[in-house]
A and B are shown apart, each in its own frame.
Chain A
Amino acid sequence: MRCSILFTLLLTLLPTSLANTKAPHTSNWAVLVSTSRFWFNYRHLANVLSLYRTVKRLGIPDSQILLLLPDDMACNPRNAFPGTVYNNADRALDLYGDNIEVDYRGYDVTVENFIRLLTDRWPDDVPRSKRLGSDEGSNVLVYMTGHGGNEFLKFQDSEEIGSWDLAHAFAQMWAKKRYRELLFMIDTCQANTMFERFYSPNIIATGSSGIDESSYSHHADTDVGVAVIDRWTYYVLEFLETQIKDQQSKLTLGDLFNSYDEEKVRSRPGLRWDLFDGGEAAGRSRLVMDFFGNVQGVEVNDANTFNETEWIQGMEWLAQMFKDKELDQRIGTQDSSQVTLTKQETLAMAHPTNSQTHKIAKIMKGQQWEQKAVGAIALFGVAALWVGSSIFTRT
């Protein structure tokens, strides 16, 4: 009997798990993270903003990009060109120009928030714009840049994320069906160590430098006075900007990775395919647009998937909300009528009586004699204790 139940359970589970290997690609999401603040880390914010600009150009809408910027370089007083961020000394392109939606900024960029973001462990009141709404049909691009070391990446000079943290977060994402395929890119010192611990499927990872290697900046702008972009990001962007002309580009990740030139990057960029379904061959054949662009065409929902009860529940909830709002308004009007009725009371509240005043009044010397009297009594008590104890001894 029990066996048969188990068997049926297995039967029902089997097809779903098989089907789970790849859901159809339905959407693209990008999580772009800079982890460092301070003026001299201008380039990290420029890195991220450059990538942000590129994925937007290639079609991922702002609502599906999560941009994490810990500092505001455009408005830093040290910025010789207020309100701008450039990624090149020619200053041809203002990355901060217009339409920048920063989802997490300043001290909101923390390890905790980043992991919550990936795994979607949020309280209910966190708005949609701050959530990663990906599902099993989403290809997710995660780009990180900052200062790191062997298997860690610093967040804001105060904390760090380890390679295991990241690996577990991705594993949880996979378990929660929050991605279909994931491209992880990281530009930091010893970047490749950050993805060594990944263990969940369908991840392609690439980093700027191997263990014990630094990732260098590409060049500095002598008027801004700081380095404006990192080398690896610079060459990735060069490829994306010059080779991917439009959203119809058929260039593959293989092409992108082949464009890495260790001479130019001055470090050994790393790649990881083994987690990907189909390995390196399949990974290399993925289109760049699969991660950097949006899904072409329109997905029509299967009529069967339409859930009537959910829809009805939703409508009922809406109706309830309207009702509540109406009620609120009525209470509000009642309140105002009450105010007019008890004006004297409110006046009394605004001008509290004298007895309440001295809690907020300027500290004044109090009733000295009263305090002194109590004090004298107390000290007299101590003296009495002393004298009394002398008597105690004699007996």
Chain B
Amino acid sequence: MGLLTSSLLALRRDRGLIEKLPSYVSIICVIIGVVWLLLLPLDEYSRKTYISENALLPGQVHTYFAGSEQKIFNAYKHEVANLTGQPHHAYEQCDVYVFMLIVSSVAPKLVEILRSSGLKVATQKYEYVVGDDVHQGENVYGIIHAPRGDATEAIVLVTAWKNMEEQLNQNGVALALTLARYFKRWSLWSKDIIFLISADSKAGPQAWIEAYHDCHSANVESLPLKSGALEGAIVVDNPLNHSFESIHITYDGINGQLPNLDLFNTAVSIASGQHGIPISLQQMWKSGDSYRERLSTTFRGMVSQGFGQSTGPHSSFIPYHVDAITLKTVGQGWQDDMALGRVVESLFRSLNNLMEHFHQSFFLYLLMHNNRFVSIGTYLPSAMAVAASFTIMALALWIASGRPPSDTSTASPAKLSEGRKMEVVSTGDAVAVVPQEDMRVLERELLLPVTSIVTLHILGIIPFYLFNHTNQQDLRYVFYIFLVVNSILPYLVASTTQSLAAPTLQHKLLLKSFSFLLLGMFLASLATVNFSLSLFIGLLSSPLLLVGIRPVSTTKTSWPRKMIENLVLQTLSPPVIIAALCWSAGVSVESALLEAAFGWHVWGVWTQVIVWGVWWPAWLAGAIGVSLQT
């Protein structure tokens, strides 16, 4: 103990080290965070998936969806093809108005088909307006009431008329119609089964699930027909007009929320275990199980989770605590539509076995292969280490801000102890002589830094509002103007502040300290809700830990260093990163922003709030700190 305190005191005396140490520690934290993530795909850290919920009994039933159902399926396929009015390949070229016409004739026909199978059927019109974009359509859904059930629970089979890539989900819809007819004949359902045919994959399911829970806005019709609590939803997306090779499972929900792992595991176990259909996820079409492929799958999953956007019709269900996944057929192979039907049949038999909500297995996990995952306890430290680096730095800067400035920052300890008032400090049996000024604490002037930080965070409302309420055609210009303004903003603010308030070094340190404190705090909280977003923002902000940190030295930063710092900051500014991401993904900035605005208005995606309310202010504070002369 005595040794420890005296060495701590020695540390305190050595200014060079104590100024650099927090930087080192926080950078080490960031490195630990990254390395931790890279270790996850190893066998020692990830686990094999397993089914926790005993009731599910995946793949224990024989499936009978075959034979005569094939003929019915073919018939429905023709019906659906007739509804499109034209062959599949030409359909993609028709414009929106023609499409709306088609859709308006589709709904009554679907109603008729479902009704003829003996279901109770209803429709729901919806309309969302984002900027000047109108998203409207009509959902059709039918309910099979469980013959011996109590109508308190329901499971949903969703097929979207158009899938996420705007392809016509012809076979998917035909399959749903066939299954509706087929399921109606069974007597063993303990839950109602709802067949939802939504007009599209983005707004339609959202409108339906909102209305199902009475959370809808005025432009979305209420549902005339309802059943009990939804226990799960399966989306079938089968746009292929040929037999497929494997099933691609999408599971990310809005805001990066995930369905219970048991649902995913059940689907995998039924499709690959019972029916021998390969499974792929996160667009890894050839799913190997090597380290690289695991890492790549994890990374893709994290990117998708970080954006928080919808990845399929199932995404809209997850915020309502309805566990859901999308099954999408991919590739050219020898699996036919009936095989997909049997997978769905078996899945529904498993869901039918459920006694209550999915709750046994994990809700927070990263999948790295279709039978390998890491749970939150294993991966969370990675984001927490990154978040902690900011808190450590904040603490260090806080301590530094309380020290009186000295003029010799690089002085040796021996020199320091000369000609100063000394203080005898004894702790237990340890006695140390310390310069008095080292023990003194400056009074901190908090008002300016606190107001600035609060103002910076409130300023985030401006870009947030701009990007969510600008018309489509102006969006691009608004973005580029913002990009330019944003790049000169720190210098502007810095020089204005300098002329108005004459900030001291302490102000600067406190500004950075509070900024890091808030950033670390938000990231730590965010990590529990959306791990990936927290980690990415943390990593993108981590250079802030290094730039402009020279707490006590009054010597001017050398200009090359300053140049580099500014360059780094400019490349890592949120709008630049957004532009770079769009460029690398090959989408226009305009469409990406439009999608994000749609996400905020329709799905309630919080990513933009985090970007403009957490990341951008932190970046701005860092950039201002660099350009602030003291």
A and B touch in the complex (CB under 8 A): yes
Task: Give the B-binding residues of A (Cβ under 8 A).
Answer: 38-40, 75-80, 82, 220, 222-223, 225-227
Number of cross-chain contacts by CB at 8 Å: 45
Contact B187 A82 (CB under 8 A): yes
**B147 interfacial contact with A, CB 8 Å:** yes
Contact A222 B60 (CB under 8 A): yes
A77: contacting residue among B57, B61, B189, B349, CB under 8 A: B189
Residues of A within 8 A of B349 (CB): 225
Q: Which B residues from 477 to 522 make CB contacts under 8 A with A?
A: none
Residue of B nearest to A224 (CB): B61
Residues of A within 8 A of B190 (CB): 39, 76-78
Contact B149 A77 (CB under 8 A): yes
Contact B188 A226 (CB under 8 A): no
**In the complex, what distance in Å separates the CA atom of A222 from the CA atom of B186?**
15
Q: Which B residues from 63 to 109 make CB contacts under 8 A with A?
A: none
- Assess A77 versus B60: contact at CB under 8 Å? Given A39-B353, A40-B55, A225-B353: no
- Assess A78 versus B352: contact at CB under 8 Å? Given A38-B55, A39-B55: yes
Chain B residues bordering chain A, tally (CB within 8 A): 19
Question: Interface majority SS on B: helix, strand, loop or mixed?
Answer: loop
Contact A78 B353 (CB under 8 A): yes
Contact A40 B188 (CB under 8 A): no
**In the complex, what distance in Å separates the CA atom of A39 from the CA atom of B61?**
14
Q: Which B residues from 117 to 174 make CB contacts under 8 A with A?
A: 146-149
**B355 interfacial contact with A, CB 8 Å:** yes
22 contacts between A and B (CB under 8 A): A38-B55, A39-B353, A40-B353, A75-B148, A77-B146, A77-B147, A77-B188, A77-B189, A77-B190, A78-B189, A78-B190, A78-B353, A79-B188, A80-B186, A82-B148, A220-B60, A222-B62, A223-B62, A225-B57, A225-B349, A225-B353, A226-B353
Task: Give the A-binding residues of B (Cβ under 8 A).
Answer: 54-55, 57, 60-62, 146-149, 186-190, 349, 352-353, 355
Residues of A within 8 A of B61 (CB): 222-223, 225
Write the nearest CB–CB distance from B393 to chain A, whole angstroms.
49
**In the complex, what distance in Å separates the CA atom of A40 from the CA atom of B190?**
13
Write the nearest CB–CB distance from B58 to chain A, whole angstroms.
10
Contact B355 A38 (CB under 8 A): yes
**In the complex, what distance in Å separates the CA atom of A229 from the CA atom of B240?**
43
- Assess A225 versus B147: contact at CB under 8 Å? Given A39-B55, A77-B188, A78-B353: no
- Most chain B C-beta atoms within 10 Å of own C-beta, residue among A75, A77, A220: A77
A78: contacting residue among B54, B62, B188, CB under 8 A: B188
**In the complex, what distance in Å separates the CA atom of A78 from the CA atom of B353?**
7
- Assess A226 versus B57: contact at CB under 8 Å? Given A77-B148, A78-B190, A80-B188: yes
Write the nearest CB–CB distance from B413 to chain A, whole angstroms.
62
- Most chain B C-beta atoms within 10 Å of own C-beta, residue among A40, A76, A82, A222: A40
Residues of B within 8 A of A80 (CB): 186-188
Residue of A nearest to B188 (CB): A80
- Assess A40 versus B57: contact at CB under 8 Å? Given A78-B353, A80-B188, A222-B62: yes
**In the complex, what distance in Å separates the CA atom of A78 from the CA atom of B351?**
11
Residues of A within 8 A of B54 (CB): 40
- Most chain A C-beta atoms within 10 Å of own C-beta, residue among B61, B189, B190, B349: B61
